Structure 1
Amino acid sequence: MNKNPAQSEKDLRALLRANKQTLKGMKLPQALNLMSAYYQDVSDYDVIAAEGDGMVVYDDITNRGRGTRFEIGIVRLFCLPSDKASTEPQPALRLRLRLCYKFDMDIATSVLAEDTWSYYCWSVTGLAGMLDKLKGETAYQVLQDKQPAEVNISLEETTYLPSKKYPATDAQQNWWGVWDVD
């Protein structure tokens, strides 16, 4: 029997403890390794059969009440079974591991000069290619050795339209896997 994706935050935190890691000491490579291992190894969630479990990595500038930060987010997407018509918003959960960095000269001069990005995959077979693209980004190269100012995990309810499971090239930062967009 498959598990309820609402259990995913507890599962991720259990994996964190099993690996003897803490959020406080986590850097970007460790966060990617944790979420990648979790995506590869824990796949017994009750989600829709076709492309119901995905992973997204994105960068953004955010302010979540602690000042403006440069954010790298690693998200596990769960498309939940539903009896709604496929033209209606469908239920989903978004498990997000967020790494937030204070602005410094490296970020201001190197990272902010680049376009924002997000990469995604809908299967474990696409994970390696997604991570390769990510590791080529200036943000990854600049931030991989830096300690984030804040690291947190959250589980969020969201919705998506089946016709928008794949973002348009020019709208990846406004894609439902990153923000709520119907």
Structure 2
Amino acid sequence: MLATELEKSLRQSLRSAGQQLKDLDALGALRFVTEHWQSTEVDGLRPMQGDGLVAYFELLNRGRGSVLEFGINRILRFPPIDGANFWEWAPGYKLRLSLTYKPPLEFFQLNAAKSVVDCWSKADVLTFIDELKSLPLFKLVNQLELDASSISFTECDSPPTEANHATKGLTWAKA
């Protein structure tokens, strides 16, 4: 499949499962995204760390007040462009499924040490799911009432080597 067909495929999978985006909770979103990742292949990606998932929790203000966002991004990384310098970032895409919540007081009391989890091997998906489900932030959002949800597909640049960049970490792969 072409990378540009991925959003349509994700939305079609949601419809085929008889689900609506507005009805997903954190656990349902995680299950849905990981199943879609496992069942689809995208052409032309890097052989190592070319297709992965990055899940995150972030407090954001998008102009209508602060929200707590739980997002799962499918990151598609293409090989560097021929003739590019070794430090130049390569093209990529982000397919995001995000759920937002009104941040409860418990969020500010958590002092969460970890808010980003990534997985670049489909064979490790169960470890990814277990690690994410064990986080206090995941347990919190899984209990909250959904405020809004969305799916988006955008271009992004990705690091020239490891996905977890030495100085930028995975910030480039989040919101």
1:175: which partner in 2? 171
The one of 57, 78, 86 equivalent to 2:76 is 78
Give the 3 Å change call, closer, same or farther, for CA 118–49 of structure 1 in structure 2.
same
- Structure 1 vs Structure 2: percent identity of aligned residues? 28
CA RMSD, 1 decimal: 1.9
1:34: which partner in 2? 32
2:7: which partner in 1? 9
Counterparts of 1:38-53 in structure 2 under 5 Å? 38-53=36-51
Deviations 1:63-117 (A, max 9, x none): 123321011110100012433524311000000111111022333444xx32342
Q: CA deviation at 1:46?
A: 3.1
State the TM-score, normalizing by the size of structure 1: 0.86
1:104: which partner in 2? 104
Q: Between Structure 1 and Structure 2, how many residues are aligned?
A: 173
Looking at structure 1, the residues matched to 103 and 87 of structure 2 have their Cα atoms a distance apart, in angstroms, of 41
CA contact (8 A) 2:114 2:135 kept: no
Looking at structure 2, the residues matched to 26 and 84 of structure 1 have their Cα atoms a distance apart, in angstroms, of 44
Looking at structure 2, the residues matched to 116 and 137 of structure 1 have their Cα atoms a distance apart, in angstroms, of 8
CA contact (8 A) 1:26 1:147 kept: no
CA contact (8 A) 1:98 1:152 kept: yes
State the TM-score, normalizing by the size of structure 2: 0.89
| Greater mean deviation of Cα atoms: 8-17 or 100-109 | 100-109
* Structure 2 unaligned blocks of 5 or more: none
